Structure 1
């Protein structure tokens, strides 16, 4: 099992933007030094708490400060940019990072972002599907491109202005061929989008705020998508994010990871609970559809979704979680605000140096 990192970084108000951006950078640099496989960074335009506005721009600042970790958008919101911009900028990033780029994609879920861009009433899922088709065509074809797909708003051509002698009219291709790895974040139970991922050889990343029983619904759909194109699904391609805090002391782990009013885990899920309640999506936290809304309390959500404890306890919890959802290739550690930088750093160290090695040892013994 690999270890990855994901942050949609959610910071409390009162800290400067420069301070939180530097903290978010420090977390990825630390992950690189600890041997994390990849780091996914989210983006929002209009959220004061989740304040990275462009994940590719943020990740570009990390290329020179990291050595082996793969740098992933988590996600590039495809309804918010023209696909030519995404294709060209991602290709350049792939070369700058010497092929360490992963393109994470989604439509873009934050309604206030869509309103600010004037697309609130648009079908953003459709724009997303159209955009990824065009991006892949740009990377596949040579100029003048002549991309005019059925039922797709985007057309791409440089036929009128193409000058081969001058080198004008050429869109860049990524370093990784035929393309970088493409990863889609999955946030809904029984997601049909996962079937499409399987068909197109995109890889799923199941969100950290889904109950285990809903995470378990993703893999069968991915397998189904693979089967439709005559391919076998490899569990190594499935990433599953979890909210984890590890400490040598069990009392410290429970306080910082759950009970203390200043706990970043408590703050994170307080914000998530408010957002999902407002969006009418509390079912994400329910074990059954008829579960009353008033049962979905903050303590209930923390008990259901935060893995916290000593290294030994966290190892046991991760193995039990894997029993619930099935085999997957990468546990993606959710990065939160560093209320206590020492504890936050130590938790990442313990995950990389103790927990994941022990999990893999246990899985190897089982095999």
Structure 2
């Protein structure tokens, strides 16, 4: 596996009832923090209901975050393309590509919350059917085509983009996958990246990881596309890291119950089924089911390696944004991962360890040469003094 990128997948998940203005500000500050730490990517969600995932337009959030950051790439994670006119999705992303000087990325999905789609008269079957239709239109528009097409929700007549992307030939496009082969099938067909969300958040999804990429490769071959590059495969995972396991366990008591309750009782999203009745059971579910790591940097390293082994290799690991711990401990978790986990998977750890080992192996001999040098210069000085006497 080549240099692994790291990032965050920020839905976000905020406990209902708190000040939403401050919660959104906290999200922006987290992206700034990740930029300073050297994280590669941040993906921002789109949701319109259920009270916790409160960013309605990832494009607007990204525009604000781009002005606060320097290096981190910013993606829609994901744009619910079934909800929108595909012409305007493509048009807005090209604008964002220019505003960010090539740091924007488009993530595409059908929309995860039925409470979102029902407000515009669509059910989950509708959104999945529209997903493929709209993705086809978006990719054609971004390739410079003029598109005339009637979909269930929109009529495009000689539709075309007035701007070309800032990124040549185009910014990254990726398709979301939970557990079914729908996402991998579209990624292979259209030559996009793959963003595996549920594949790392449930045991069934974890078991299907390698199968996901097989589907991408099969579809790419079927449609005559080049063999897909695994660097375009992003996996989303769960972690909270502290200096000790005990500290990590104490810190997640702050908010892990809300996160579990959201998926157990609020969001009609059974693909993200989680189990656990109290904090201990919730921690055990994350760690023992193998879907995440609550613990130390060694646990984090082991989890990333486990995903690499199970998948056969991927390009980026995205930490699912959550508020299991308070903001200070959450920022510290990201910092510990950047400081101690990044180097293991980016080719930076071995060289400094090897340099230390080389120095340790020759320390005794080199230390003696230092002492010999001091002795030599002392004797030389004494000889010079004697010659002047």
TM-score, length of structure 2 as denominator length: 0.78
1:180 alignment partner, one of 150, 171, 174: 171
Is the CA contact (8 Å cut-off) linking 2:132 and 2:186 kept in structure 1? no
Q: Which structure's CA Rg is the greater one? A: 2
Q: Give the unaligned 5+ runs of structure 1.
A: 160-168, 287-296
Is 1:103 equivalent to 2:93 in the alignment?
no
Residue 50 of structure 2 is matched in structure 1 by 47
Is the CA contact (8 Å cut-off) linking 1:311 and 1:350 kept in structure 2? yes
Is 1:245 equivalent to 2:240 in the alignment?
yes
Higher helix share: 2
Between the aligned partners of 1:254 and 1:109, the Cα distance in structure 2 is: 30
Aligned residues: 336
Residue 358 of structure 2 is matched in structure 1 by none
Give SS of 1:27's match.
helix
Residue 156 of structure 2 is matched in structure 1 by 156
Is 1:309 equivalent to 2:295 in the alignment?
yes
Superposition RMSD in Å: 2.7
Give SS of 1:177's match.
coil
Residue 166 of structure 1 is matched in structure 2 by none
Shift of 1:330: 0.9
TM-score, length of structure 1 as denominator length: 0.83
Between the aligned partners of 2:269 and 2:153, the Cα distance in structure 1 is: 28
Shift of 1:233: 2.6
Give SS of 1:75's match.
strand
Residue 131 of structure 1 is matched in structure 2 by 134
Q: How does 1:251-266 map to 2 (within 5 A)?
A: 251-257=246-252, 260=253, 262=254, 264-266=255-257
Give SS of 2:208's match.
helix
What's the CA shift string for 1:273-319, capped at 9, x where partnerless?
Answer: 3357x55547x669xxxxxxxxxx74663232331221123212321
Residue 202 of structure 2 is matched in structure 1 by 210
Shift of 1:7: 0.9
Between the aligned partners of 1:5 and 1:121, the Cα distance in structure 2 is: 26
Between the aligned partners of 1:334 and 1:121, the Cα distance in structure 2 is: 23
Is 1:351 equivalent to 2:337 in the alignment?
yes
Is 1:57 equivalent to 2:47 in the alignment?
no
Give SS of 1:51's match.
coil
Between the aligned partners of 1:74 and 1:90, the Cα distance in structure 2 is: 13
Shift of 1:123: 1.3
Between the aligned partners of 2:193 and 2:51, the Cα distance in structure 1 is: 30
Is the CA contact (8 Å cut-off) linking 1:4 and 1:36 kept in structure 2? yes
When residues 362 and 65 of structure 1 are mapped into structure 2, their CA distance, relative to the original with a 3 A threshold, is closer
Is the CA contact (8 Å cut-off) linking 1:130 and 1:153 kept in structure 2? no
Q: Give the unaligned 5+ runs of structure 2.
A: 276-280, 352-389
Is the CA contact (8 Å cut-off) linking 1:84 and 1:135 kept in structure 2? yes
Shift of 1:154: 4.2
Is 1:193 equivalent to 2:187 in the alignment?
no
Between the aligned partners of 2:88 and 2:151, the Cα distance in structure 1 is: 20
Residue 2 of structure 1 is matched in structure 2 by 5
